[in-house]
Structures are given as structure tokens and as C-alpha cells.
């Protein structure tokens, strides 16, 4: 049971909260939002069963905080609808009363987009987790928003299809969240972005209107492609309730190579060669620097991949449908890059055990970093020429004050720059050493200050480093048209200034 | 020199115009638009040089009419800007004066989207035709909107890249028009839609604001993906002035197979087999019925592909990077479908001459139809089960009154249903036999009434067959937000009712 008194008390505490989520302070609560009371809870009980309404702080705690323990809100209410109609009724009520709402999927985001900033109601999609349809001829799958990514992959595998999207959080992230954040990941190089692979969405608008754009057609040019508005807008324009997606045939032959390079120029050249020589079967081209490998060796049960240490490592994956052809292509490729002295060392894995072992180096970097202390994460798109320079610049800047590592999807120009310090909590001093320098550098080279993680609560004030004023103004117009009361995921994505 | 008197005369003629563009009559002129006068022309002379302003009816005629001679407007003015800044100044002026504008690219559309309906100013992008940048490492190309698609392909070929888009009109269609109409075409099966391949656009909004979303990054999740608004909105939300696009490595080995089938079930099964057996190298899967082949034989210098006639034909293309591997895959595929009696006859082409000969059957259908008389064109997405039924239903309906043919991108579920009669002009009687039946049938099976051609002037009144009222209302809100004076490409895309 929530009382107004308690809310006000919490709110006062909040106003004194000096938490920093970046080099900027947490935004103040917008006092025009209603504070929920008993009548509201009673109303929600007419929409949802009591098990789908969480008010006990111990139940809510996990929803208020993100997985990195960097962002923490103070919501007193979690609603877990099971149907689109329930989502619609909840939003209609919230819009009428001007109650702020944060939609939450698997809560695996990196920028604080999925947790409340203050006392927004948390609308969790976890109870909407059914795969509704699959067409084995076209490969089109239709899922409810709360379906976990890995659940979809496991469902598709026996039918010879695969999701066109793979990321470290696959075991807990949800497809609705993936779509709302335009999640990128490892397979983007091969299958492209969700803007191409999502065929339709069903979404609920701020006023409760249900928008059925759940086409399952590969081609549909009837008017504006409205579904695109919900891909990557982080729940600020509507809440995605269902997704239809084209899934590609699952490759039957997968090979992985791990290569060590002497300098970043070699990495670049190997990338060019891989694109032209492996073309249609190249499915991942990932990059890690030596400090990443050291971190993984420290925190995971793995052995150094090669006898000699090298400054740079590439993980390359091919996926195809003919084992003989694929191995031949990969062997020829390896021979040619070795002959040209483009790598110092290299090893190929063709069976699933060795493939997993190779992938472990790449996939456990984030987890290993998490064990170090506070991690300052930056997800940048940069031209290949500047891709690694920023890591070196930051390393020089921090000297031995912090551990600076660089890894990422070099095939897509996407660098994950991570800076870790042994001490928690996050420190404004460290933030100030990183920001706005990292953003200025990125902007100067016409990169993106958020390649795949989104804007969330972390980056609205930095949006101008990647977007023009005219673009930001148009975003604000669209937001204002679609959510005039600004109830959907407030304080996020768009700068308030 | 244009005089008001002349304009009024033209306009009166227009109001008596009973031309039918579908089973619906041409919409009346909206009298709230200004009629251009001498002062306007004088103002445009301060923005453009005189060669870029066409007012002579004989110069304008080709811009007023579409290539099928189905749609004809009555514009008195064509403007041909050379820079984005000029486009911006023109639109700012038109917005202030409420002068309607139709943007025009290569004018190769199928639904009357690129010609004026009444006296809208024609803004031709043809003079903005430069390829501005190309990055040989990432394959990202940046072009002005008026660049012809084939020019881009010819530019990329020597550098080992290819445009991810190919269509019959490539010799005259322009990339800005392709993006504005979300053009599909033959390679969509392999490379996906422009929503995935276009990385950025520069567009000019109705009020002259220049929107720079010309990112060249593969990944950029900083706020709403505004460029998507311009992809497929047919120039009603802004005029695309530049495009940046990811281009894939150009396959070095191309093979084509032409197969004959006894029934449509065989076509479906061959499609399934091709997707699983050819996977990564399958680049086109096109379908033609026998009446298509008969038309091509009648109008082109070609011979029947096989000794025996068959009711259905498949054109299948593979594109890869290893000739030996690709041939082996295609031969194995051919052997297996022949062993299963899935085709009656089949032939493979591996050299460019034979490949072109095979493609001629598919690519000259539209041109051959044009030589027949009046052609009623329908571009539908349908589930595979209904893909050919609609052709049979229409054939039964017309009996010998018209020639009904079906072809298209069956791999994407996209049927081109064409009905031709020997006599021009287009007849309301014939339209009434087709519409709304074709749209009702498509709607009933949750297909799309416009798979790749768009809505244009032909289909706004039928939009509800593929889009919900809520979707149409949201489209109208967005249009109203971005173009409140409704000056951009009026009477098109959105229903006026």
C-alpha cells in the first residue's frame, strides 16, 4: 500500500540526491507529474490481477535498479500486464492523470533507459512472453515484447532458422527491449540492423491507442513506415507490445578464427581482406586489445590463447551452409594473411567446444570488467582511422589511475571503450576526466556517441555531439505530437534544455 | 512568362477533367493553394540561374507526364536546383506563400507520385547528380539525390562494390527517388530493404529547414532514427537531397538458372529448397507465368527457353565469391530438384551473355506489356498460399476481355499482377472490374496493396485495405507536424477523406 506521505518523503530525499550518472547530475523531478496514490492502485486493480501489481519495496527493488548498479530510481509501483489491452488501459489512465511511466524489458541496458529516474511507474513487459506465430516458409516469427531473445533462438533452431541478432545479454534481454533500443550486437555485420529485420510492431501510444503495424510481409510500401519510429526510440514514443521479424536460415557450418596482430594497421588490413575474400560467409569480426585478454585471464577459467602476448586480437567468424567450402575459404584466407605477415599468430576452431572457448574471450570481457570495480562504459562509432586512437589517448590521460581497455565490433566501426577503477561508487572526478572529451573527439571525427547502447539517462545532454539542432528540434516535435503529456520514459533520450 | 489569366483558364479545364487514375476520380484542386504568378517567377530568379527555371510548355511537358502516360498534371513551372541551399530557399518561399510542390526524380514511378496532379511546381532533382564521397574500407557511398542508380553502380564496380538495389528502371531512376519511395527490386531478397541499407539522408523540410542526418556510420543510436521518416514517404514529409548508403562487396561469381514448373506448388517447394540449400549465395528468385513468356516472345527478339511450354517459370540467381564453390552448390541443387521431379525442365547460365539472355525474359515483361495497350498494374504482397490464386481469379473474371499475367519477386512474396487491354486510354469499366476486388482480396489475406510501388496518386483511397485507422491517423499527425501547410506532394499517399 502506498501513501502520499511516504511518496513525499521519498521525493524530498530525491531532491537532495546528488548522484551523478555521467559528468552531469541527475535531473530534478518534474513536479507536474502526479504522485500516485491509493485511488490509482485501486484503479489498476480493475485492470490487472493482484499478482501483477507489485507495491512491496522488496519486490520492487530489482526493478528500480539496473544490472550495473549505476542507475537507481524510486518507483513504488510495478505493473506487469499480460495483454496489449491491459497496456492500453494502463497508459490511457496514466495519460489522463499525467502519471509518468517507464517501460522495462529485461533491464539489461547500459545507459539507464529502463529504470525510473524518480517515482515513475514501472511497466514490466515480462509477463507478455509468448511466441505467437512462425511461418516455416518465410521464416517470419511473431512474438510478444517480453519474450527473451534466447528463447526465440532456441525455438527457431530446430526449424533451421536463427534470430538475426545476438548479444551478450541474450539470456535475459527481451525482444521488445531489443527493438525499442535498436540493439546491435555481433551479427549486425552479417544480417544488418533491426530497422531492416523487424517487419512489424504492435505498439501502444501514450494515450492508450493500440497501433497495429504488425505486418509479417517482407515488402509493404503503404504509407509511412510507422514501425521505424519505435525502433530505437527507447520507449519514449510508445510501448512495443509485439514484434514480427524476418529470421534467416540458420547456418549449418560455423568456423571461428582467433588472430593476434602487432599493430592496429594490421587489424584494419585483415578486415579489408576478410570482407573481400570471405564475403558471403563472414559473420563476425570482433576486436580486443591485450588489456581485455588480461582481464579475462584474471577473472575467468581460461588460458592465454597463444604462447606470445600480442597487443591486438581479432575474433573472426564464418557461417555458411557447406562445411567443405567454408573451411577451404577460411584456410585460404588464413594462408594469405600469414603469407603477407598481417598476423603474428592465428588459430582456427571448427568444433563447437573450441568455438565456444574462442568466443569466451570476447563475450566475457564485460563480465570481467564488472568484477574490477566501477566501470565507465562508452559505446562509440568512429571511422576506422580513429577507432583505436581514442583508447590510446584515454590511456595516456589516466596513466595508472584507471585501466583503459578497447574492444568491439570493428567490422561495423563500433568501439566499446571501457575505463575501470577499483573503487565504487562512480566518481564525478573520473567522469570529468572522460567527458566531454570523449564526446568532443567523437563529434570532431563525425562519429556517434552511442553506436548501439542508446541515449537513455546517460547521454541526453550530450546528444548535440552527434545530432544537429534541427534534428533535435524535429525529435522534440515528434515526441510532442505522439506524447504531448510527456508521460513515456521521461528525462531520457531528449535533452530537457 | 506565366500569366494569372492563363492559369485560371487551365484550372477551369482541370475542374472538368474526368480522368480516372484508378476506380476513383482525380481529386479536385485544393483552392487554398496559391496560383503562381510573375512575382513568384521573379523571386525564383534570385535563387536559381535562368537555365534552371523552365516555363515553356514544351520544356515542361515531359515533367508533367509519367512514363506510362497514365498520369498527367498541369504545372507551369519546373525548378532545377543545383544545391541543397537552393532547395531550402525554394521551399521556404513556397511554404510562406502556400505554393504546392511536387519533387521529381527520374519520374519512373508506377503510381503517379512524381508528377503534379494539378498546377504544383515541379522541383526536379536532376541537376543534383554528384557522387560526393566513397570509402573503400567501409563501402559507404554518399550521393546527391539526383544521381542515377546505374551511375552509382558503374562508379562502384571497378572498386569491387555494388549497390544493394537493382531494378528495371536503373538507367533513369535516381537514388533520391529510390529512397523516397523505398524502392525494392530484385536484390532485396539478398541485401534487404533501403530501411537497412541507407545510413543517412540530408533532407529539406517543408519550411526550408535543412536536416542533416547524413551519417556514414553503420551504427548510430543517438535518438530517433529520423532518416527513416523520409524512406518511403514519397516526398510528402521532406525532399531528400543527399543519401549515404552502405554498399556490399560486388560478387565475383554469378550464375543464373531458368526452371520450368508444372504447377505453383512446385514453385513454392523449389523456393524452400533454394533458401535452405543455397542460403548465403541466393541473390534472386523471380517468378513468371507462361502468359508473361508469350508476351516477351511476341515483342522481343528472343526464343522460347525450352522446347516444351510450361505454365510456370522460375529465374534463380546466385552471387558469390568463389566460382568453383558456387557452381558446385548450384549443380547439386539442380540435381536434387530434378531428382525430386520439382521441375519439368531447367537450364543454367554461367557466362554473362547467357545470363543476360535469361534475365531478358524477366526484365522485359514490363516493356512488352507496355506495347500491348493500356496496362492496369497491381503490386501486391501476398502470403505464398494466395500468391498465384489472385491471378487465376482475375483471369476467370476477365475471360477473353483482357490479358491477365502474373510475375514478380516470389522470394519476397511480391506479386506483380498486370492486366492489359489493347485499347487506350484507361477505362473506368476495366478499373471497376479490378478494384476494389483486388484490394479486398489482399486485405482479407493480410497482404499489402502496395508491396514496392508505393501509394502515390493511385492508392490513397485504398490505404485502409492495408493500414488501420489508428495508423492512418498517426500518419496524418506526423504529416501535419512536419508540413502544416501541406505544400509537399499534395493529393498523394494520405487519404483526403
Of B205, B276, B448, the CB nearest to A160: B276
User: Using H for helix, E for strand and C for coil, what is the string for chain B?
Assistant: CCCHHHHHHHHHHHHCCCCECCCCECCCCCCCCCCCCHHHHHHHHHHCCHHHEECCHHHHHHHHECCCCCCECCCCCEECCCCHHHHHHHHHHHHHHCCCEEEECCCCCCCCCCCCCCCCEEEECCCCCCEEEEECCCCEEEEECCCEHHHHHHHHHHHCECCCCCCCCCCCCEHHHHHHCCCCCCCHHHHCCHHHHEEEEEEECCCCCEEEECCCCCCCCCCCCCHHHHCCCCCCCCEEEEEEEECCECCCEEEEEEEEECCHHHHHHHHHHHHHHHHHHEEEEEEEEHHHHHHHHHHCCCCCCCCCCCCEEEEEEEEECCHHHHHHHHHHHHHHHHHCCCCCEEEEECCHHHHHHHHHHHHCHHHHHHCCCEEEEEEEECCCCCCCHHHHHHHHHHCCCCEEEEEEEHHHCEEEEEEEECCCCCCHHHHHHHCCHHHHHHHHCCCECCCCCCCCCCCHHHHHHCCCHHHHHHHHHHHHHHCCCCCECCCCCCCCC
Q: Are A434 and A396 in contact (CB under 8 A)?
A: no
Which residue in A has a C-alpha nearest to residue B494's C-alpha?
Answer: A223
Domain termination site, one of A104, A127, A150: A127
Of B221, B409, B450, the CB nearest to A222: B450
What is the distance between the alpha carbons of residues A290 and A305, in angstroms, rounded to a whole number?
11
Q: Is position B477 within any domain?
A: no
Query: What value does the mean pLDDT take over residues A398-421?
Result: 94
Partnered with residue B121 across adjacent β-strands are B101
Q: Look at residue A2 in the predicted model and tell me its pLDDT.
A: 35
Q: Which residues of B touch A229 (CB under 8 A)?
A: 224, 228
Q: In terms of Cα–Cα distance, which of B192, B168, B195, B171 is closest to B181?
A: B195
Q: Which residues of A touch B322 (CB under 8 A)?
A: 325, 329
Q: Rounded to 5 degrees, what are φ and ψ at A214? A: -85, 50
**CATH at A342:** 3.30.70.2190
Scanning A171-190 for CB atoms below 8 A from B yields: 181-182, 184, 188
Q: How many CB atoms lie within 10 A of CB A304?
A: 12
Mutate to test the interface with A, among B220, B236, B264, B336 (most CBs of A within 10 A): B220
Q: Could you report the per-residue pLDDT of B105-114, keeping only the tens digit for each?
A: 999 999 999 9
Strand order in the sheet with A101-104: A53-54, A78-79, A121-124, A101-104
Retrieve residue B107's grid coordinates: 519520374
Which residue in A has a C-alpha nearest to residue B318's C-alpha?
Answer: A280
- Residue A77 Cα, gap to closest chain B Cα (Å): 27
- Cell 539470456, residue? A171
Query: What value does the mean pLDDT take over residues A236-249?
Result: 97
Q: Look at residue B400 in the predicted model and tell me its pLDDT.
A: 87
B176 and B290, same domain (yes or no): no
What is the distance between the alpha carbons of residues B446 and B385, in angstroms, rounded to a whole number?
12
Domain termination site, one of A344, A365, A386: A365
A155 and A242, same domain (yes or no): yes
Q: What average pLDDT is seen over chain A?
A: 93
Q: Rounded to 5 degrees, what are φ and ψ at A469? A: -60, -40
Q: Rounded to 5 degrees, what are φ and ψ at A393? A: -60, -45
- Residue A318 Cα, gap to closest chain B Cα (Å): 11
Q: Which residues of B touch A233 (CB under 8 A)?
A: 223-225
Q: Are B267 and B314 in contact (CB under 8 A)?
A: yes
Q: Which residues of A touch B224 (CB under 8 A)?
A: 229, 232-233, 237, 475, 478, 493
Q: Could A381 and B219 be called an inter-chain contact, meaning their C-beta atoms sit closer than 8 Å?
A: yes
- Residue A383 Cα, gap to closest chain B Cα (Å): 8
What is the distance between the alpha carbons of residues B199 and B215, in angstroms, rounded to a whole number?
6
Taking the Cβ of residue A218 and every Cβ of chain B, the question of whether any pair is shorter than 8 Å is answered with: yes
Instruction: Tell me the CB-side half-sphere exposure of residue A202, using CA atoms within 13 A.
Output: 20
Strand order in the sheet with B121-124: B53-54, B78-79, B121-124, B101-104
Peptide bond into A402 cis (omega under 30): no
- Residue A280 Cα, gap to closest chain B Cα (Å): 6
B168 and B282, same domain (yes or no): no
B2 pLDDT tier (thresholds 50, 70, 90): very low
Mean pLDDT check: name the lowest of B11-20, B72-81, B268-277. Answer: B11-20
**CATH at A439:** 3.30.70.2740
B18 pLDDT tier (thresholds 50, 70, 90): low
Q: How far apart are the first and last CA of chain A?
A: 36
A121 and A143, same domain (yes or no): no
Retrieve residue B181's grid coordinates: 519511395
Q: Could you report the per-residue pLDDT of B278-287, keeping only the tens digit for each?
A: 988 999 999 9
**pLDDT over 90 percentage in chain B:** 86
A18 pLDDT tier (thresholds 50, 70, 90): low
Q: Could you report the per-residue pLDDT of A434-489, keeping only the tens digit for each?
A: 999 999 999 999 999 999 999 999 999 999 999 999 999 999 999 999 999 999 99
Q: Look at residue B280 in the predicted model and tell me its pLDDT.
A: 82
Taking the Cβ of residue B219 and every Cβ of chain A, the question of whether any pair is shorter than 8 Å is answered with: yes
Partnered with residue A255 across adjacent β-strands are A318
Domain count for chain A, please give it: 4
A186 and A269, same domain (yes or no): no
Q: Is position B233 within any domain?
A: yes
Taking the Cβ of residue B449 and every Cβ of chain A, the question of whether any pair is shorter than 8 Å is answered with: yes
A193 and A239, same domain (yes or no): yes
Q: What average pLDDT is seen over chain B?
A: 93
CA distances from B337 to A311, B331, B345 (A): 51, 10, 10
Q: Could you report the per-residue pLDDT of A293-342, keeping only the tens digit for each?
A: 999 999 999 999 999 999 999 999 999 999 999 999 999 999 999 999 99
Q: How many beta-carbon pairs below 8 A join chains A and B?
A: 250
What is the distance between the alpha carbons of residues B303 and A375, in angstroms, rounded to a whole number?
69
User: Using H for helix, E for strand and C for coil, what is the string for chain A?
Assistant: CCCHHHHHHHHHHHHCCCCECCCCECCCCCCCCCCCCHHHHHHHHHHCCHHHEECCHHHHHHHHECCCCCCECCCCCEECCCCHHHHHHHHHHHHHHCCCEEEECCCCCCCCCCCCCCCCEEEECCCCCCEEEEECCCCEEEEECCCEHHHHHHHHHHHCECCCCCCHHHHCCEHHHHHHCCCCCCCHHHHCCHHHHEEEEEEECCCCCEEEECCCCCCCCCCCCCHHHHCCCCCCCCEEEEEEEECCECCCEEEEEEEEECCHHHHHHHHHHHHHHHHHHEEEEEEEEHHHHHHHHHHCCCCCCCCCCCCEEEEEEEEECCHHHHHHHHHHHHHHHHHCCCCCEEEEECCHHHHHHHHHHHHCHHHHHHCCCEEEEEEEECCCCCCCHHHHHHHHHHCCCCEEEEEEEHHHCEEEEEEEECCCCCCHHHHHHHCCHHHHHHHHCCCECCCCCCCCCCCHHHHHHCCCHHHHHHHHHHHHHHCCCCCECCCCCCCCC
Mutate to test the interface with B, among A211, A222, A387, A452 (most CBs of B within 10 A): A222
Query: What value does the mean pLDDT take over residues B189-205?
Result: 96
Taking the Cβ of residue B200 and every Cβ of chain A, the question of whether any pair is shorter than 8 Å is answered with: no
B94 and B123, same domain (yes or no): yes
B153 and B223, same domain (yes or no): yes
Q: Which residues of B touch A275 (CB under 8 A)?
A: 139, 249
A398 pLDDT tier (thresholds 50, 70, 90): very high
Domain termination site, one of B229, B246, B263: B246
**pLDDT over threshold 70, residue A213:** yes
**pLDDT over threshold 50, residue A167:** yes
**CATH at A76:** 3.30.43.10
- Cell 506510362, residue? B68
Retrieve residue A220's grid coordinates: 509493404
A10 and A121, same domain (yes or no): yes
Domain range for B95 is: 4-127
B5 pLDDT tier (thresholds 50, 70, 90): very low
Q: Could you report the per-residue pLDDT of A39-90, keeping only the tens digit for each?
A: 999 999 999 999 999 999 999 999 999 988 889 999 999 999 999 999 999 9
Q: Is position A176 within any domain?
A: yes
Q: Is position A78 within any domain?
A: yes
Q: Could you report the per-residue pLDDT of B430-453, keeping only the tens digit for each?
A: 999 999 999 999 999 999 999 999
- Residue B114 Cα, gap to closest chain A Cα (Å): 15
Q: Could A221 and B320 be called an inter-chain contact, meaning their C-beta atoms sit closer than 8 Å?
A: no
Taking the Cβ of residue B432 and every Cβ of chain A, the question of whether any pair is shorter than 8 Å is answered with: no
B354 and B384, same domain (yes or no): no
Q: In terms of Cα–Cα distance, which of B17, B108, B68, B107 is closest to B420?
A: B68
Which residue in B has a C-alpha nearest to residue A248's C-alpha?
Answer: B279
Q: How far apart are the first and last CA of chain B?
A: 36
What is the distance between the alpha carbons of residues B190 and A246, in angstroms, rounded to a whole number?
13
Taking the Cβ of residue B443 and every Cβ of chain A, the question of whether any pair is shorter than 8 Å is answered with: no
Which residue in B has a C-alpha nearest to residue A454's C-alpha?
Answer: B221
Q: Is position A487 within any domain?
A: no
Q: Is position A469 within any domain?
A: no
B382 and B416, same domain (yes or no): yes
CA distances from A412 to A2, A117, A382, A387 (A): 48, 32, 9, 11
**CATH at B222:** 3.30.465.10
**pLDDT over threshold 60, residue A9:** no
Retrieve residue B152's grid coordinates: 552509382
Of A219, A322, A450, the CB nearest to B221: A450
Retrieve residue B261's grid coordinates: 514448373
Retrieve residue B5's grid coordinates: 489569366
A3 pLDDT tier (thresholds 50, 70, 90): very low
Query: What value does the mean pLDDT take over residues B402-424?
Result: 93
B71 and B174, same domain (yes or no): no
Taking the Cβ of residue A147 and every Cβ of chain B, the question of whether any pair is shorter than 8 Å is answered with: no
Of B275, B325, B450, the CB nearest to A325: B325
Q: Is position A311 within any domain?
A: yes
Taking the Cβ of residue A207 and every Cβ of chain B, the question of whether any pair is shorter than 8 Å is answered with: no
Q: Is position B472 within any domain?
A: no
Mutate to test the interface with A, among B194, B217, B222 (most CBs of A within 10 A): B222
Q: Could you report the per-residue pLDDT of A85-137, keeping only the tens digit for each?
A: 999 999 999 999 999 999 999 999 999 999 999 999 999 999 999 999 999 88
Query: What value does the mean pLDDT take over residues B198-212?
Result: 98
Q: How many CB atoms lie within 10 A of CB B20?
A: 17
User: Pairing state of beta strands B101-104 and B121-124?
Assistant: parallel
Amino acid at each position: 500500500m502506498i501513501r502520499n506521505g511516504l511518496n513525499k518523503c521519498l521525493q524530498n530525499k530525491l531532491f537532495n540526491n546528488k548522484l551523478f550518472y555521467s559528468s552531469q547530475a541527475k535531473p530534478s523531478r518534474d513536479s507536474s507529474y502526479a504522485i500516485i496514490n491509493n485511488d490509482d492502485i485501486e484503479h489498476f486493480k480493475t485492470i490487472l490481477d493482484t499478482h501483477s501489481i507489485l507495491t512491496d519495496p522488496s519486490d520492487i527493488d530489482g526493478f528500480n535498479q539496473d544490472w550495473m548498479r549505476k542507475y537507481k530510481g524510486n518507483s513504488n509501483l510495478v505493473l506487469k500486464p499480460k495483454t496489449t489491452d491491459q497496456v492500453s488501459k494502463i497508459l490511457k489512465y496514466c495519460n489522463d492523470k499525467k502519471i509518468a511511466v517507464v517501460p522495462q524489458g529485461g533491464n539489461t541496458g547500459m545507459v539507464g533507459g529502463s529504470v525510473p529516474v524518480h517515482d515513475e511507474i514501472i511497466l514490466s513487459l515480462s509477463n507478455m512472453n509468448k511466441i505467437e506465430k512462425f511461418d516455416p516458409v518465410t521464416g517470419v516469427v511473431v512474438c510478444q515484447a517480453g519474450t527473451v531473445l534466447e528463447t526465440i533462438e532456441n525455438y527457431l533452431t530446430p526449424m533451421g532458422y536463427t534470430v538475426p541478432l545476438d548479444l551478450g545479454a541474450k539470456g535475459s534481454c527481451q525482444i521488445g527491449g531489443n527493438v525499442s533500443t535498436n540493439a546491435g550486437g555481433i551479427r549486425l555485420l552479417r544480417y544488418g540492423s533491426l530497422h531492416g529485420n523487424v517487419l512489424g510492431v504492435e505498439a501502444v501510444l501514450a494515450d492508450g491507442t493500440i497501433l497495429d503495424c504488425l505486418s509479417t510481409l517482407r515488402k509493404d510500401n503503404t504509407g509511412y513506415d510507422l514501425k521505424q519510429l519505435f525502433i530505437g526510440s527507447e520507449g519514449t514514443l510508445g510501448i512495443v507490445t509485439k514484434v514480427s521479424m524476418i529470421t534467416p536460415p540458420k547456418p549449418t557450418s560455423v568456423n571461428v578464427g582467433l588472430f593476434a596482430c602487432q599493430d592496429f594497421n594490421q587489424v584494419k588490413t585483415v578486415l579489408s581482406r576478410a570482407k573481400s575474400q570471405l564475403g558471403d560467409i563472414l559473420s563476425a569480426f570482433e576486436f580486443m586489445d591485450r588489456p581485455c585478454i588480461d582481464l579475462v585471464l584474471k577473472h575467468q577459467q581460461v588460458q592465454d590463447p597463444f604462447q606470445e602476448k600480442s597487443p591486438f586480437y581479432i575474433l573472426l567468424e564464418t557461417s555458411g551452409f557447406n562445411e567443405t567450402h567454408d573451411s577451404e575459404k577460411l584456410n585460404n584466407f588464413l594462408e594469405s594473411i600469414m603469407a603477407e605477415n598481417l598476423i603474428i599468430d592465428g588459430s582456427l576452431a571448427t568444433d563447437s567446444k573450441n568455438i565456444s572457448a574462442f568466443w569466451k574471450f570476447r563475450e566475457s570481457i564485460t563480465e570481467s570488467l564488472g568484477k574490477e570495480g566501477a566501470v565507465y562504459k562508452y559505446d562509440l562509432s568512429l571511422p576506422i582511422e580513429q577507432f583505436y586512437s581514442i583508447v590510446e589517448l584515454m590511456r595516456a590521460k589516466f596513466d595508472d589511475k584507471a585501466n583503459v581497455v578497447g574492444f568491439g565490433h570493428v567490422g561495423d566501426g563500433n568501439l566499446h571503450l571501457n575505463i575501470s577503477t577499483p573503487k565504487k561508487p562512480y566518481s564525478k572526478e573520473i567522469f570529468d576526466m572522460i567527458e566531454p572529451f570523449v564526446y568532443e573527439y567523437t563529434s570532431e571525427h563525425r562519429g556517434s556517441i552511442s553506436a548501439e547502447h542508446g541515449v537513455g539517462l546517460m547521454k541526453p545532454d550530450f546528444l548535440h555531439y552527434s545530432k544537429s539542432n534541427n534534428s533535435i528540434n524535429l525529435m522534440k516535435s515528434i515526441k510532442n505530437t505522439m506524447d504531448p503529456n510527456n508521460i513515456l520514459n521521461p528525462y531520457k533520450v531528449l535533452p530537457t534544455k
